[in-house]
Structure 1
Amino acid sequence: MQIYKKEFTSFAKIYLLDDECYKVANDKYLMQKLVSKLDINSAKSFELNKSTVLADILSEVKFPIVLKPRSSFTKFNLGNKESVSKIYSIEDLQLRLDGLQNNDIILAQENFIGQGVGVEFLANYGEIIYAFQHVRVHEPLHGGGSSYRKSVNLNCELLEASRKIVGALNYHGVGMVEFKMNMQSGKWIFIELNARFWGSLPLAIASGADFPYYLFLLLTKGIKKIPAGYKRNIYCRNISSDLTWFIINLRADRSDHTLSTRPLLKVFCELFHLLLLRERNDTLVMDDIKPGIAELSDLTRTITRKIYLIIKMRIASLRLIRFIQKKKIMATMKNAKEILFVCKGNICRSPFAEYYLKKICPTDINILSAGYYPINNRECPKEAIAAARIFEINLSSHRSKLLNCEMINSADIIFIFDKENFEQVSMNFFHARNKIYFLGLLSNDSSVEITDPYKCDYEHFLRTYQLLENVLRSIRGK
């Protein structure tokens, strides 16, 4: 919408940022230059490009290194989000650089240990007229959106840093400045500016900071005097995301101080927030309960399906059942004219399986791969391309294909890799459930799943492709 701002605003009054403000706020590289100019605390940063000499960088910063793309989305590639990531080895860092185009720049920063803190604001042409602050209680181990947050008092230093940024951009509207703070030392750094409404907005509203209404008053009536204050120590939870966080936090390596884990005793003590009436929910609210009910219904169905799949996987792993399934696969493979491999994105496991089997199998068999992630023409990760080369497979020209009914119907046998693949494919193509098999049934491992290496390092891809090579060679024999 920002790109076509002039066209939209010719029909109606629409809230969008000033073009120059948007240009800087949407570019992490330009924002880093701005905060450095304003003398705001930030992590030690380096600009990396294809020709960067890594030895010069690694002499000043230690792993893990945080890599930030200039922007999460570009107008030329709206279907592919570029995420912030942590890099733990020089090999993975070099792979990321090798994948850059000649003029690309990414930002590398030292890893800062601390909790996420957000200063949300409403600004009138460079002046903050209302502000609210939250701290993340539960956040993903390697960073990302939080699932449980708490309203807290405004920190004077963070508010002043936010004022500097808003003033320098002549910002008009709502936004959130993200920081990380070490709660023991009190040290903090700037992370990024979210120049839009943010994911933790339900907490602000539950605490009495109604930013959508305040923005409406500013834009339509010119009201700039917003009553200060909000409720502190209010907690807000996204149930679905927090359940996922809980499972990951339970399994996390607590010896790794770079992970954002939370002690289990503290997690248990959070139950008292319910008794003290301090707990709120992102979607289940009294003025409109339908979104909350819908989320709980979806969560119930998801849990039910997960339990069913766990039971199914346990049964599939039994020696007798596995033997029977292998016999079925062997019988089907004897007369198969078309084989289809399906994983989530068709950029990691299934394309390798397709090209490797084409390499070792007769040419009269049609071998395809696809994924159900709803975006076509995605490239394979650089780690996948590098690992596949070891097996003389070239994935550099592969582009993802979206699974469709024609592929399903024409395939004689469909191989999937994990529980999620089975759930998605069997649910969307129920009529084909009798020809869907776990490829891992043909391995000698105890597990029938071959897990997704997406967003993992080169070594993880290498192990996955080694396992696939062994399984695929057994298919050739059948």
Structure 2
Amino acid sequence: MAIATADPIATRTIDGRESCARDTRCDKALVIGDDIGVFLSVARSLGRAGVDVDVATCGENYPGLSSRYVQNVRILPPYLTQPSNWLAALQALTEREEYRLIIPTSDSSLGLLALAAETIGRDKLAIPNDQALAAFTSKSRTRALAASLAVKIAQGRNCVASSEAFELFADGPFPQVLKPSQPYVTGGRDAKTSASIVHTPEQLSTAMKKFEGREIVVENFFAGEGVGVSVLAKRGEVRRAWQHRRLAAAGEAGRSSRRIGESPDPVLLRDVYALSRATDLTGVAMFEFRQDPATRDHILLEVNPRFWGSLALAVSSDADFPALLWQMLTGGSVGKAEEVPVQSIPMISLSADLDRLSDGSPGLVNSIRRSVDVIALLARAKLSPSRFDGWAKDDPRPHWAEVGQVAARLRQAAMRRLF
């Protein structure tokens, strides 16, 4: 992609916080910020390790930007509508500030940084090696690799979404899962296109129109619980492994809103080790499985070669992946550790759980029930903040900022109903 000239970069400095002076040498990182969860966990981890953290974002209303560990907020052009300008602004910022690492926190920022590797410098980007990127940023390639290694996957096939493809799958069996082979398309309208779970031919037709013209994977649905195995690896050797289980999610195919840490399953680890070795993985990744809680049978759903939504729970369990990645990529050594402490207390993403509770069937009774559940969630966030992703004892402001945003959202919804 050609890099176009960008407008000057806007900078918001966090008043009253110490940061490295422009004429001194220090460890500096730039984290690409998208929402409160992932970038905040990265900023806190690196900040505690003595790294000076800036956040690059297209918006200024994220609660995580109030963190004591965010030194500067760098406002870049919107990457969804202006990817070339975004890359140009990022290049200028990187040259000016001399960051040691630039860290993505979403599929979109990962994809854009991969495009900028030659321009900015591959050694400055905290993204996995090219072989792992190629295998794990495409659902169809991930399936092919898994099948070659005898890693279990759902029965399915690749196709281009169209009316002709609808005819191939219209007779079921249902439910079916439709997911784009590449969730993020450069220059597209969405940061990520989520999978769709369809239960009827009518829903299948709607989903095919949603993905029209894109390469998709159509799989048979596998019933079970979502389990994620997160790793740090170097040249295919796993140095840290940690596991969490989904307890609740915003929609059938949405992001998890409640999770709990648990001891890694040896069978899942076997698959993770095989995939990591096959791709010579260097970096972080989260391997997402669905597992039947009764039989322990499982399938691989996808691999995210970047930091993941449950990162706050991992860090609270002393599986401090951001600090370990920084150490590994800036010349330090990371010894292999098979076991890490497990945080057995469930943690909640306030924004994701609000979405989960707000979504439901129409009707007055259901609406009242949802309202009561949402009010209870907000009360819990105020009374038991340590159960939420945004909370940290040494950095409470982001959690209270998020609580304030949720309270304002509820007030606005109440006013709309009244008037």
- The TM-score with structure 1 as length reference comes to 0.56
Aligned residue number for residue 180 of structure 2:
69
Give the counterpart of 1:149 among 256, 259, 270. 259
Contact 1:153 1:232 in 2 (8 A): no
Contact 1:235 1:278 in 2 (8 A): no
Aligned residue number for residue 352 of structure 2:
241
Per-residue CA shift, 1:1-24, capped at 9, x if unaligned?
Answer: 1011011117x6222222232122
Contact 1:150 1:235 in 2 (8 A): yes
Q: Which amino acid aligns with 2:117?
A: K
**Length, aligned pairs only:** 292
CA distance 1:224–1:99, shift in 2 (3 Å): closer
Q: Which amino acid aligns with 1:184?
A: A
After superposition, residues 32-181 of structure 1 pair within 5 angstroms as 32-49=143-160, 50=162, 52=164, 57=169, 61-77=172-188, 79=190, 81-94=192-205, 96-97=207-208, 104-181=214-291
Aligned residue number for residue 6 of structure 1:
118
CA–CA distance in structure 1, aligned partners of residues 124 and 158 of structure 2: 39
Aligned residue number for residue 300 of structure 2:
190
Aligned residue number for residue 209 of structure 1:
319
CA–CA distance in structure 2, aligned partners of residues 76 and 6 of structure 1: 20
Contact 1:5 1:16 in 2 (8 A): no
Give the counterpart of 1:23 among 134, 151, 170. 134
After superposition, residues 310-329 of structure 1 pair within 5 angstroms as 310-312=417-419
CA–CA distance in structure 1, aligned partners of residues 226 and 140 of structure 2: 20
CA distance 1:100–1:147, shift in 2 (3 Å): closer
CA distance 1:193–1:34, shift in 2 (3 Å): same
After superposition, residues 356-375 of structure 1 pair within 5 angstroms as none
CA–CA distance in structure 2, aligned partners of residues 305 and 81 of structure 1: 27
Aligned residue number for residue 287 of structure 1:
394
CA–CA distance in structure 2, aligned partners of residues 94 and 188 of structure 1: 28
SS of 2:114's equivalent in the other structure is coil
**Offset of residue 57 of structure 1:** 4.2
CA–CA distance in structure 1, aligned partners of residues 151 and 254 of structure 2: 22
Q: For structure 2, which runs of at least 5 residues remain unmatched after alignment?
A: 1-112, 364-375
CA–CA distance in structure 2, aligned partners of residues 240 and 98 of structure 1: 29
Per-residue CA shift, 1:66-106, capped at 9, x if unaligned?
Answer: 1011111122426463221122333443455567666x431
Per-residue CA shift, 1:284-327, capped at 9, x if unaligned?
Answer: 21121111111111111112212222222xxxxxxxxxxxxxxx
Contact 2:250 2:352 in 1 (8 A): no
Per-residue CA shift, 1:147-167, capped at 9, x if unaligned?
Answer: 110001110011111111111
The sequence identity of aligned pairs, in percent, is 27
CA distance 1:293–1:101, shift in 2 (3 Å): closer
Contact 2:129 2:283 in 1 (8 A): no
Give the number of the structure whose alpha-carbon radius of gyration is greater.
1
CA distance 1:279–1:226, shift in 2 (3 Å): farther
Aligned residue number for residue 305 of structure 1:
412
CA distance 1:209–1:252, shift in 2 (3 Å): farther
Q: Which amino acid aligns with 2:132?
A: C
Contact 1:233 1:278 in 2 (8 A): no
Contact 1:121 1:132 in 2 (8 A): yes
Aligned residue number for residue 370 of structure 2:
none
CA–CA distance in structure 1, aligned partners of residues 247 and 211 of structure 2: 35
**Offset of residue 28 of structure 1:** 0.6
CA–CA distance in structure 2, aligned partners of residues 51 and 240 of structure 1: 36
Contact 1:25 1:193 in 2 (8 A): yes
Bigger mean CA deviation after superposition, 225-234 or 21-30: 225-234
Aligned residue number for residue 362 of structure 1:
none
Q: Which amino acid aligns with 1:2?
A: A
CA–CA distance in structure 2, aligned partners of residues 84 and 197 of structure 1: 19
Per-residue CA shift, 1:364-387, capped at 9, x if unaligned?
Answer: xxxxxxxxxxxxxxxxxxxxxxxx
**Offset of residue 187 of structure 1:** 1.5
CA–CA distance in structure 2, aligned partners of residues 290 and 299 of structure 1: 14
CA distance 1:138–1:94, shift in 2 (3 Å): closer
Per-residue CA shift, 1:308-358, capped at 9, x if unaligned?
Answer: 22222xxxxxxxxxxxxxxxxxxxxxxxxxxxxxxxxxxxxxxxxxxxxxx
- The TM-score with structure 2 as length reference comes to 0.63
Q: For structure 1, which runs of at least 5 residues remain unmatched after alignment?
A: 254-267, 313-478
Aligned residue number for residue 38 of structure 2:
none
CA–CA distance in structure 1, aligned partners of residues 237 and 153 of structure 2: 22
**Offset of residue 122 of structure 1:** 0.4
CA–CA distance in structure 1, aligned partners of residues 190 and 288 of structure 2: 25
CA distance 1:20–1:288, shift in 2 (3 Å): same
Aligned residue number for residue 63 of structure 2:
none
Larger RCO of the pair (alpha carbons < 8 Å, separation 6+): 2
CA distance 1:168–1:145, shift in 2 (3 Å): same
Contact 1:46 1:57 in 2 (8 A): no
CA–CA distance in structure 1, aligned partners of residues 211 and 387 of structure 2: 43
CA distance 1:133–1:53, shift in 2 (3 Å): closer
